[in-house]
Structure formats: C-alpha cells, structure tokens
Amino acid sequence: MKKVPLLEIFGPTIQGEGMVIGQKTMFLRTGGCDYRCSWCDSAFTWDGSQKPDLMEAQEIVTQLEAKGGSLFSHVTISGGNPALHDGLGEVVRLLQEKGIQTAVETQGSFWKEWMTDIDEVTISPKPPSSGMQTNWEQLDTYIHRLKGRQKKQVSLKVVIFDETDLSYAAEVHERYPEVEMFLQTGNDEWSTAENQWLLTHLLNRYEWLVEQALHSERLNDVKVLPQLHTLLWGNKQGV
Amino acid sequence: MKKVPLLEIFGPTIQGEGMVIGQKTMFLRTGGCDYRCSWCDSAFTWDGSQKPDLMEAQEIVTQLEAKGGSLFSHVTISGGNPALHDGLGEVVRLLQEKGIQTAVETQGSFWKEWMTDIDEVTISPKPPSSGMQTNWEQLDTYIHRLKGRQKKQVSLKVVIFDETDLSYAAEVHERYPEVEMFLQTGNDEWSTAENQWLLTHLLNRYEWLVEQALHSERLNDVKVLPQLHTLLWGNKQGV
Ligand code: SF4
Ligand code: SF4
C-alpha cells in the first residue's frame, strides 16, 4: 500500500477557483512538487517549511470523515502536484465507493492512471512569469487522455500576472479550443495579513485581467475568475 | 416577425453569476416580468421607469455586432423574464448561425420552445422572501424539458436573503438532485453608490451564506457564489 504525504486535510469549505468555483468541498493537500514557480502560493508544500504526514488511503478517508462528518459529498485534491503520488488512486477509489465526487488540480507534468477516475480535472499549465517551461507534447497527451470521458470533465486554468502570461494563455486556448478555459488572477501578495488592503489590491488585479480579456479577440471564449477564498479570508491557510 | 422589447444591449463584459460565472459575454436585457419580487434588482425592466425599444431579431443582432465587434462569441439573455418573448427564438437562431453560444435566465414561469436551443439555461425559482409562490408542477415540467439535451446545460439558482430562503433552496435541491445547484447572495442594497461600503457588506453577506451552506447536510452538493460584477462595479447599470 503506497503512502501519500499530506500537508493539510480541511473542510468543509468552498472551492474558491476554477471550473467548480463555489462548490462545497473538503480539501486534501499533498506535499511535494516537481515545479518551482517563482510566485508559488503553496511553496510550503515543497520548501521544507512544513512536514507532511505519510498516510495510507484508508487513514486519509477516515480523517476526512472525522473532520467533515456528514457535511460533505465532494473532495478536492490539491498540492503541490498531486500527480506525483500513486497512493491517491486508492483514496479516489474509496471515496467513489461512498458516492463522493472528486476534483484535482495539476500542472500536467506527470501522468497517473487514477487521473481518469476524477470527476473534475483542472490542468493548470504555468505561464512564463512562473519561470517554468511548458512541454507541449506532454500536455497534448494529458488532455487527450482526459477529454471525452463519460460524465467527467476537464478544464484548463492559467494564472495570469502580466501581458506575456496573457499571450501564453491565448496560445493554450488556441491549441485546445474545445477545452473549457479559465483565466485567474494570481495572488502576488500571499504573505500580507492586511486583509482590507489585500482585498482592494486583488479586486484591482481582477478588474485589470477582466479588461485585458474583454479587449482580446483571442480570448473571446474564456472565463475570468478571481480567487473567492482569498477575497473572503485573505491569506489564511486551511480555510 | 415578432418584436422584442429591449432595455439594454451591452458588452462585452463578464457574466457575474451562476453556472457560467466569469464567462466573457454580451448581454441582452428584455423588458417586462410576470413576477414582482420584493427585492427585484432590475425592477426598471417592468416598473415603467425605463422605456424599452421594440426591436426585430435582425436589428438586435446588428446592434450586438455594432457594440461587440469581433470581441464576443457568447450572448446572455436576461430580464425581466425573457421567456415572455416569442421573438427571441429568431434572435437565438441568428446567433447560432454565426456560431455564437447563448445563455438565458428565467424564473421558469413561462415556457417557450426556443428555450431548448439555448446552450446554458439558468432557472431561478424565487424563494419566500421575494413574496412570490412557486408552482412546483410547472417547474417539474420545465426542468424535464431541459434536462438531458445534447451538449446543452441546465442549472438551478436560488437567491438567498434569510434562513427561510435557505430551506426553500434545500427543498428545490432535494426535488431536483441531479440538476447543478447554485446559491447566490442577493443584493439588498442595490441603490447605494457607496462602493467601498457595499463591497464589505456584500462580502459579509456572502460569508454568511457560505457558513450556512457549510453547516447544512441538505446542502452538501451545492455551489455558493457572490455576484462578481457587483464586487467589481457596485450598482452601476450596463456593465
Ligand atoms: S506547480 Fe503549483 S505547487 Fe508546484 S511550484 Fe508551481 S504553483 Fe507551486
Ligand atoms: S423574476 Fe426577476 S425580473 Fe422578475 S420581479 Fe423577480 S427578480 Fe425581478
């Protein structure tokens, strides 16, 4: 039985981003990432500042139930990059047996077979501002494997910090026009505890991104979203 | 050719609510409503304060193109209750010929055959605080007609002002468990121009609604959303 390194189990709360924004859900946050994005807002999953617990699938499900009780029917797996961990396949299987829906987010750099069992997969390729490179052929294969599943969805989400990121997003959208596409404002102030200032700042960033998308013909069929949890709770971890 | 009474044609902008929240879209707002919700935030569509233009389908599409140019591929029809108007069928047909996606929102009190051609239908039954009554059998039929269409979606959205509204929403959700369900904070301060105050007020209301949903087992599989356009632009009309 392969163990999974976990940094957080929390909820129920609201999914603040992307294709199921607003969804009532529990969160699992796995440790470890193969990327080092310059603006990573969950660097604590890989920079050694927080120590993960190595847990077996059944133990993870038991903890989810201890925290969520009867108040959830949806679990979101986040990271780090969850696709590093084989052991999540068993977690997903156990949750499905209980009729619980699952969602995951990954940058698409590693493939795991359990990915095909997930109800809502968000692939978030990283734009130039992250300092990372996109392997396009790998991304092609990834998306191809997840498209056209029965009653299961896949979407793309690109976090945008500047105009170079925007044209990268347009390139992604043009390469996969049939995949639902989300643009999201990045949080470049993830260490401040000044919530009122942060709120105004984030809404200004969001308005900027909306304006950019509205004026770009390449971005006609996109959805532009903020991070709702950050608007509500600032930079607090575990909500 | 049946004419349609229109109050607003605007965009491109962002859909601020519901199932395609964040979507880049143009808006058509029709005049007239068979309801009189106590907290209606678009009462100007039916209270005589603004005069609609009676327009033919081709004229409407021409105006959309004049305003949106090449910067849109999605049109949202809002009201009032758009389902009062036969003439919208021709508008939807003309837009589809151009490959433009369409969305509509209605309370579900009137049926029109063109409803089945719409890509994303939001049905928003009105909770007790509105002062309106729900005809459940009518709603059953409405939803039945829209479910299971190929590549077209239907969702439910209930605006929540108080706890009575919340249990109404739970009742709706339990009656149609297979239909995607959105809870939305109502804007009870739609006349203020004090944007900073309004923002804090709306986020507090949204946090209240999130907390309510998180603690209700009847509301496990829902999405809880604010109105993004109000967070961005306050009560300004036509954005
Ligand atoms: S892929 Fe995600 S978790 Fe990994 S470094 Fe980038 S932002 Fe952080
Ligand atoms: S149904 Fe909509 S437009 Fe009609 S009165 Fe109610 S809130 Fe206003």
DSSP B88-130: HHHHHHHHHHTT-EEEEEE-SSS--GGGGG-SEEEE-PPPGGG
Contacts of A12 in chain B (CB under 8 A): 214, 220
What is the spatial distance between Cα A236 and Cα A232, in angstroms, rounded to a whole number?
A: 10
Per-residue pLDDT band for B192 (boundaries 50, 70, 90) equals confident
Share of chain A above pLDDT 70, in %: 97
Contact B36, B62 (CB under 8 A): no
Query: What does the pLDDT look like over A34-87, one tens digit per residue?
Result: 999 999 989 999 999 999 999 999 999 999 999 999 999 999 999 999 999 999
Cβ contact, residue pair B203, A232, below 8 Å: yes
* Cβ-contact B154, B194 below 8 angstroms: no
pLDDT of residue B55 exceeding 90: yes
Integer Cα distance of B60 and B10 in angstroms: 11
Segments of chain A scoring below 70 in pLDDT: 1, 190, 239
CB contact under 8 A, B217 and A23: no
User: Residues in chain A, how many?
Assistant: 239
- The shortest CB-CB distance from B223 to any of A22, A206, A220 is to A22
| pLDDT tops 90 at residue B197 | no
The rounded distance, in Å, linking the Cα atoms of B103 and B119 is 6
Q: What Rg do the C-alpha atoms of chain B give, in angstroms? A: 17
Task: Tell me if B157 sits within 8 A of B172, measured CB to CB.
Answer: no
Using the mean position of ligand 2's atoms as its centre, give its distance from the Cα of residue A105 in Å: 38
- Verify whether the Cβ–Cβ distance B203 to A22 is below 8 Å: no
Alpha-carbon span A14 to B214, nearest angstrom = 8
What is the pTM for the complete model shown? 0.96
For testing the chain B interface, which of A14, A17, A199 should be mutated: the one with the most B CBs within 10 Å? Answer: A14
Dist CA B116 CA B89 (whole Å)? 10
Task: Please identify, by atom number, the ligand 1 atom nearest to the C-alpha of residue A45.
Answer: 3
Bridge partners (DSSP) of residue B153 are B120
pLDDT score recorded for residue B1: 67
Q: Which ligand is nearest to the CA of A31?
A: 1
Alpha-carbon gap, residue A89 to A113, rounded angstroms: 8
The more confident residue out of B1 and A184 is A184
Rounded Cα–Cα distance for residues A181 and A173 (Å): 7
- Token pair 């052991």: residue: A87
Q: What is the mean pLDDT of residues B104-128?
A: 98
Is B37 marked as binding a ligand?
yes
Give dist(CA B213, CA B223) in Å, integer: 9
Pocket lining: A35 vs ligand 1, CB cutoff 6 Å:
yes
Q: Is the CB of A98 under 6 A from ligand 1?
A: no
Q: What is the DSSP letter of B212?
A: H
CB A202 within 8 A of CB A231: yes
B125: annotated binding-site residue?
A: yes
CB atoms within 10 A of CB B90: 18
Nearest to B24 among A73, A222, A232 (CB): A222
- B13 CB less than 6 Å from ligand 2? no
Closest CA to A185 of A217, A167, A215, A162: A162
Q: 């919340």: which residue's tokens?
A: B166
Residue found under tokens 């590549």: B151
